[in-house]
Amino acid sequence: MNRSWSRTRFPLTRLLAVLLLATAWLAGCAGQSPSGHPHATDPAAPRERQASPSAPAPRLQDPPELVSRDGVLRAAIVVERRKVRVGDHRLYALTYNGMYMPPTLRVRPGDRVDLTLTNRVREDTNVHVHGLHVSPRSPADDIFIAIRYGRSHHYSYRLPRTVTPGTYWYHSHADMMSAAQVAGGESGVIVVDGLRRYLPPALRGITEHVVALKDFQIHGNAIRTHKLKIGTRTNRTVNGQQNPVISLRPGETQLWRLANIGANIYYRLHLKGNRFHVIAQDGYPVRRVYAADTLVIAAGARFDVLVRAGSRPGATVLETLAYDTGTAGNRFPRTDLATVVTAGAPVAPARLPTDFAPNEDLAHAAIADRKTVVFTENAAGDEFYVNGRTYRPDRVDFTSVLGTVEEWTVRNDSDEEHSFHVHTNQFQLMSTNGKAHDPDHRWFDTVNVPARGNVVIRVPFADFTGRTVLHCHILNHEDMGMMAVLDIVPPRPGGK
C-alpha cells in the first residue's frame, strides 16, 4: 500500500464512488481555461450530496472569476439576503451577487480597480480589500464609510506595480457589524497574479484551486448572523461546499490558495500522507519554499501552497485538526474538509522549487519609532481592548510617518490567542515570544499572537497616508472593541 494515499478512513463503496467520479471528471478536463481552472457549473448551486455513503461526493467548484481586462478590473457587487445552497443546506445568507461563495476578483500589479458595491440589506455595510497595499482614503479602501440600504458606493484606485502576488480577500468591514456580516456570507477571494513566474517552467501551467474556508451556524432557515458564539458547533465549508472531492492525477502538482475567510475560527490544516509546500503567505511570496505537515491558519490569514499527488491511485483527507486557542478561548474539533483523490493517467512528477522570490529584509532598517500594542479583555469575555481602550472611530490611537520603518511589539496579555492584522501595509515578523522568525518567510498582514505572549514586527510605511486601523481579526473581538485607529501622516518639511 502507498502510505501517501491511505484508504483507511474510507468505506470501499465511497472510495469506488469518488474514484469513478474523479476519473470521469479528469477524462473531461481537456477543456480548461488558459489559467488552468476547470470550467465549473453554477457555483451558486453545488450539487447536494445524498445521504447514502456510496453516493458520489460533489467535486470542488472554484468560484467564478471577475478578471481585469486591459489593466482595469470593472466589477459590480450587490449585497443582498437570499436563500441559497450552503453546504448541504438551503439557507438565507448574506450574499455577494447572489452567491455564498462569490466571484474571485483577479487582478495584476498596476491594474486599476473600479468596483461598485450596492447594498440591498437593511444594515449599513461596506467592503474592505484585506491585505492589499492601497490607499485607505476614499475612493479607495476607506473602511470608515457606511453604505446605506438601497445606496451604491464606487471604489476606484490603482494597485501599485510593486504590489506582491498572492492570495488576498474582500469582506465587510462595517463598524461593529463585521462579524455578523462576514459570518452571514459577505466574503470572497482576491488573487493578484504573478506567482507563476517564480515557478520552474514545468510548473507554470499547473492547475490551481481556490480553497476558501468559510463556516456557518444555523438559526432556523438562515445562517446565524447575530449572537454569534465562537465555540458553538459550526459547519465548515470549502468554497461553500461540505466535503467536496479535490482530484489530482498520480504525480501531479497543483497550486492551492488556502484562505481563511470566515469571521472567527481557526484552522489547523493537515493533508494525511502529504505536505504543504508554501510559496506565499498573506499575499507575499517566500524567499525559500518550505514544507509543512500542518498549517495553522488564524482568522484572516492565507497560504499559497503546492501539493503533489502520490504515484498511485487512492484517496486521503484534507482535515482541520483539533486546535485550542487558550483557557479563555475556544477548542475547535477535528473536522474533515475535503476528500482528496488521485486517479487517472499518471504524469511525471515535476521538481518542486526551493529558492523562490525576492524578499525584502528590514533587519537592518533604520527604526523611526517603536510602539507597543497590547491586547486585553475583561473576565466576562464581552469587552476587548487595545492599550486599555475600546475602539472609537473618531479617535486616533497611533500616528506613523510616511517613508519610515517602525518596530512594534504586539503583546497579548489575555489567556487566548488573538489574530493581529494591520491595514494598508504588510509587515515583517521579527520574532514570536523572543524567538527570531525564519528570515526566508516572514512577511505577513495577519499573524497569530500567542496567549500571554508577544510578536515583534517591523512595518514600512510606504506610498499612502490616511486614517486606517489595526485590530484582532477574530471579528467578534474586533466588534467588541479590539480595534484602534492608525493615522499615517506625511513627513514634516525639513525634518521630524
What HEC string does 404-440 produce?
CEEEEEEEECCCCCEEEEECCCCEEEEEECCEECCCC
- Summarised one tens digit per residue, pLDDT across range 1-16 is 333 333 334 444 444 4
pLDDT of 440: 86
The architecture in CATH of the region 65-193 reads Sandwich (2.60)
Q: How confident is the model at residue 50 (pLDDT cuts 50, 70, 90)?
A: very low
- Summarised one tens digit per residue, pLDDT across range 414-456 is 999 999 999 999 999 999 999 999 988 899 999 999 999 999 9
Least confident of 27-31, 108-112, 436-440: 27-31
pLDDT of 29: 39
CA dist 480 and 46 (Å) reads: 35
Domain spanning 367-489: CATH 2.60.40.420: yes
pLDDT of 94: 98
- Summarised one tens digit per residue, pLDDT across range 226-272 is 999 999 999 999 999 999 999 999 999 999 999 999 999 999 999 99
The model's pTM: 0.89
- Does 151 have pLDDT greater than 90? yes
- Does 168 have pLDDT greater than 60? yes
**Mean pLDDT estimate for the chain:** 90
Kindly list the distances between the CA atom of residue 352 and the CA atoms of 134, 202, 278, 459, in Å, as whole numbers in the listed order. Answer: 32, 9, 11, 31
CA dist 479 and 168 (Å) reads: 22
- Does 208 have pLDDT greater than 60? yes
CA dist 449 and 456 (Å) reads: 10
Specify the DSSP class assigned to residue 5.
Answer: G
* Joined grid coordinates for residue 315: 484517496
**Interior CA angle at 359 toward 353 and 362, to 5°?**
150
pLDDT of 496: 52
| CATH number of the 7-27+197-342 domain | 2.60.40.420
Q: Please list, in sequence order, all residues whose beta carbon lies within 8 angstroms of the beta carbon of residue 103, skipping any fewer than 6 positions away.
A: 63, 64, 65, 66, 75, 77, 96, 97, 188
Q: Which helix (H) or strand (E) holds 18?
A: helix 12-27
Other Cβ atoms less than 10 A from the Cβ of 234: the count is 23
Q: What percent of the chain has pLDDT over 70?
A: 88
Q: What percent of the chain has pLDDT over 90?
A: 86
Other Cβ atoms less than 10 A from the Cβ of 247: the count is 29
Is residue 358 helix, strand or coil?
coil
**Range list for CATH 2.60.40.420 in the chain:** 7-27+197-342, 65-193, 367-489
